[in-house]
Amino acid sequence: MMSSQVIQKTWGEFTPDEVFEMAVLRSEVFFLEQKIDEEEFDAADRDPSTIHLWITDDEGMAGYLRIVHNPQAAADHEGIPDSLGRMVVRRSERGQGLAQALMRRALEIAGDKPLYLHAQDYITSLYAQFGFEAQGDTFLEAGIPHVLMVRHPHA
Q: What is the pLDDT of residues 84-113, one digit of tens each?
A: 988 889 888 888 889 999 999 999 999 999
CA distance 128 to 59: 30
Find, among 104, 73, 82, 91, the residue nearest to 30 by Cα: 91
pLDDT at 24: 84
CATH topology for 7-112? Aminopeptidase (3.40.630)
Q: How many C-beta atoms lie closer than 10 Å to residue 86's C-beta?
A: 22
Residues 6+ apart with CB under 8 A from 67: 50, 51, 53, 82, 83, 84, 106, 109, 110
**Residues lower than pLDDT 50 in the chain:** none
Spans of all domains in the chain: 7-112
pLDDT at 7: 94
pLDDT at 47: 92
